[in-house]
Amino acid sequence: MKRERKHSLAIAGHRTSISLEEPFWTALKEIAAAEEATLAALVAEVDSRRGETNLSSALRLHVLAHYQGLAATR
């Protein structure tokens, strides 16, 4: 697996850095585009409902759930 890459985003008015592997960043950008949202808006949505899970893990799980949902409809 490729190394983690850190991105800085503004979420709910504050800057944060998130480390994810490049394939997850690519997937999040694709999901955001499909939902006609910005990457920051998608991350903020995941952040708002993640509970105690750390944000990087919540984003990975969001990507997994998205693609599992697509696979289930085929």
Asked if pLDDT for residue 1 goes beyond 60, the answer is no
Query: Using 50, 70 and 90 to split pLDDT, how confident is the model at 67?
Result: very high
**pLDDT at residue number 2:** 64
Distance CA 60, CA 28 (A): 9
- pLDDT per residue over 22-64, tens digit each? 999 999 999 999 999 999 999 999 999 999 999 999 999 999 9
For the chain, strand residue ranges (E) read: 4-11, 14-21
- Bigger pLDDT: 36 vs 5: 36
Asked if pLDDT for residue 7 goes beyond 60, the answer is yes
Give the CATH architecture of domain 4-72: Orthogonal Bundle (1.10)
